[in-house]
Homo-oligomer: A and B are copies of this chain.
Amino acid sequence: MDKRAGHRQRAAKAHEERRARVQEALATQGLSALLCAHGANVLMLSGYASVIGAAVAIATADGKLVLVVPEDELKMARDSWADDIFFFQAATLNAMHTGRAALRSALAKALDACLPEARHGGARIGMEFARAHLPASYASQLVYGAMLDQLIEEIAPACMPVPADTLLAQLRMRPTAAELERIRASCAIAAAAFHEGAARLVAGASEREAAQHFSEAYVRAVDRHADVTRADAFFYCMSGPNAAHAHAAFQQSTARRLLRGETILIHCNSHADGYWTDLSRTYVLGQPDARLARMQEAIMAARRAALAAIRPGVAAGAIDRAARAVLDEAGFGADFKHPTGHGVGFIAIDHEEPPQLHPHSHEPLLPGMVFNVEPGIYIGGLGGMRDCNMVAVTEDGHELLSPFQLEHHAWSIE
């Protein structure tokens, strides 16, 4: 079996399971279709990881899937499981400002093909209205804003746009078996980078240089995966007192030089063909002193407690409380400043992505859910330590998607 065939088979399988779920969701909500432009939703509906953010996916209640993509992405979009692909030229040399008209025309054709009632009758169409956290699919990303709503109103005046953000989040929350396989592969590439990057940590390097060594290793790992078309990684390194700020909504590498005996927190968000990871490890150059060793023990125990609590039917909040109880007990309760996790895969780092492993969440875990588990201790002036793994809920427990550098001997670099 050649690789290409394998790829097609995986795509077909992903399509089947995903299409069934989307159809079910549309039926439940009484929607005629979903029409999305956010990369995470386009990928989830069609298997296509759009690059620039200009692609639109339409999934109908009767199971049709149509993509509208800029011409530049047409070749790549053909690897999706779309039944039909319409394309538009975002720009030409013949005239200025033709992009809107071109998109409008392609969208109209797409709706004619898959949902004629949106043009000439009545149709409830689920669309994106809420805030969204868009993973960086490229150096810059197009967002349509109100333009997409306006176009729909112009070409399909009989159609009623309905906010579908919650529904879409629920659909993203449980990757299909084939999607899970892609997330697993994405984690494996990042794991290789963590192995190689950690081995290159050295006192005197700047945080930015240290992060760069992980990125470099990531690139080499990607080159070894011929079935990955596009991949990118964002590695950040925060050391010593800087690591104490790593609980913020963003990570930041600086020119600070690494010192022996301090916490060196490496954070990674990476994707392979649109499937994202959220991973962290914390290293020490040399042996940790007694205090850092206690932090390491507490972090590992919190992770073990969280993982042990994961199984279908348990409330997401219980996983948070399991980790938090361990850190409380060890005297670090006040230093664990964020929830234990959130959905990851289609989305990289949104703390509102379900399931939220938040102390107050009653959401029951379901088989197939994918999220991160990230116990952390942040002590101002001293340092910060986080161990962030990716996990899938199985029929009777969990699968660790990031089984690397789990024990403290891997966290001390000589």
Interface residues of A (CB under 8 A from B): 51-52, 54, 70, 72-73, 90-91, 93-97, 99-100, 128-136, 138-147, 206, 208-209, 211-212, 215-216, 219-220, 222-223, 226, 230, 234, 248-250, 252, 255, 269, 337-339, 347-352, 356, 358-361
| Complex Cα–Cα for A209 and B97 (A) | 37
| Complex Cα–Cα for A39 and B216 (A) | 28
CB of A250 within 8 A of CB of B72, answer yes
CB of A129 within 8 A of CB of B143, answer no
User: Could you say how many copies of this chain the assembly holds?
Assistant: 2
CB of A136 within 8 A of CB of B144, answer no
CB of B249 within 8 A of CB of A70, answer yes
CB of A250 within 8 A of CB of B132, answer no
Task: Give min CB distance, A122 to chain B, whole Å.
Answer: 22
Report chain B residues within 8 Å CB of A146. Answer: 129-130, 146
Report chain B residues within 8 Å CB of A338. Answer: 91, 93
Which one of B95, B97, B128, B140 contacts A348 once the chains associate, using CB atoms below 8 Å? B140
Report chain B residues within 8 Å CB of A100. Answer: 131
Which one of B96, B145, B211, B358 contacts A360 once the chains associate, using CB atoms below 8 Å? B96
CB of A72 within 8 A of CB of B220, answer no
Q: A135-B139, A349-B139 are in contact. Are A219 and B208 (CB under 8 A)?
A: yes
CB of A138 within 8 A of CB of B250, answer yes
CB of A145 within 8 A of CB of B131, answer yes
Jot down 8 A-B pairs with beta carbons below 8 A, ordered by A: A90-B249, A136-B139, A140-B347, A143-B143, A208-B222, A211-B219, A216-B216, A230-B252
Q: A91-B338, A130-B147, A134-B140 are in contact. Are A223 and B208 (CB under 8 A)?
A: yes
Report chain B residues within 8 Å CB of A54. Answer: 249
Which one of B132, B142, B226 contacts A133 once the chains associate, using CB atoms below 8 Å? B142
| Complex Cα–Cα for A134 and B54 (A) | 12
Report chain B residues within 8 Å CB of A360. Answer: 94-96
Which one of B129, B138, B220, B250 contacts A145 once the chains associate, using CB atoms below 8 Å? B129
CB of A209 within 8 A of CB of B215, answer no
Closest Cβ neighbor of A253 among chain B residues: B219
Report chain B residues within 8 Å CB of A206. Answer: 219, 223
| Complex Cα–Cα for A220 and B208 (A) | 8
CB of A93 within 8 A of CB of B339, answer yes
Task: Give min CB distance, A346 to chain B, whole Å.
Answer: 11
Report chain B residues within 8 Å CB of A140. Answer: 133-136, 269, 347-350
Which one of B91, B131, B142, B230 contacts A132 once the chains associate, using CB atoms below 8 Å? B142
CB of B128 within 8 A of CB of A145, answer yes
CB of A139 within 8 A of CB of B215, answer no
Task: Give min CB distance, A265 to chain B, whole Å.
Answer: 15
Task: Give min CB distance, A99 to chain B, whole Å.
Answer: 7
